[in-house]
Amino acid sequence: MHSHTLLVMAAILMCIVTMVLAVMWHFNRRIPGLGSWGLAYLSGFALCGLLLAHGRLHEAVFVAAVQTLTFLVAYLNLASARAYAGRPRCRAATSPEPSPALSPCLCISRSDKPIRAHGLPYRALRPAVSSC
């Protein structure tokens, strides 16, 4: 299928899901994480719109905006899922431990190999991984 068509379909779906989540959140605000999920899908809708406007923006601005919105969508989905499951917020974002951005890289790597990130042994980074 044509990529433009797929992006339009994704934007339509994001818009529909955003509206459904907004209505659900309006009538039942006691569901934890529902508002954040709505914001995540709203950010995804903005991301689809930005991707559709690819040739109209300066390349550096476009890349920075796409990366920011992609991170925002992922973070809001993670925060919503953790709130819905009753788990606390990630401590790595508020403590003076290594960056939580390293956590996915460390979780994906094989555990039987010794790994190093920026010269730090894995043991030094373990609190950031285990706190999420």
Cα-flanking dihedrals φ and ψ of residue 116, to 5°?
Answer: -135, 140
CA distances from residue 32 to 63, 82, 83 in whole angstroms, order as listed? 32, 9, 6
Q: Is 48 exposed, middle or buried (0-12, 13-18, 19+ CB in 10 A)?
A: buried
pLDDT in tens, 109-128: 434 444 444 554 444 444 44
Q: Is 73 exposed, middle or buried (0-12, 13-18, 19+ CB in 10 A)?
A: buried
Residue 24 — pLDDT band, cuts 50, 70, 90? very high
Find the farthest-apart pair of alpha carbons in the chain and give their distance in angstroms, rounded: 51
The model carries a pTM of 0.64
For residues 76-109, one letter each, b for 16 or more C-beta atoms within 10 angstroms of the residue's C-beta and e for the rest, the string is: bbebbebbeeeeeebebeeeebbebebbeebeee
pLDDT in tens, 62-87: 999 999 999 999 999 998 999 888 88
pLDDT in tens, 88-116: 776 655 444 445 554 444 444 434 444 44
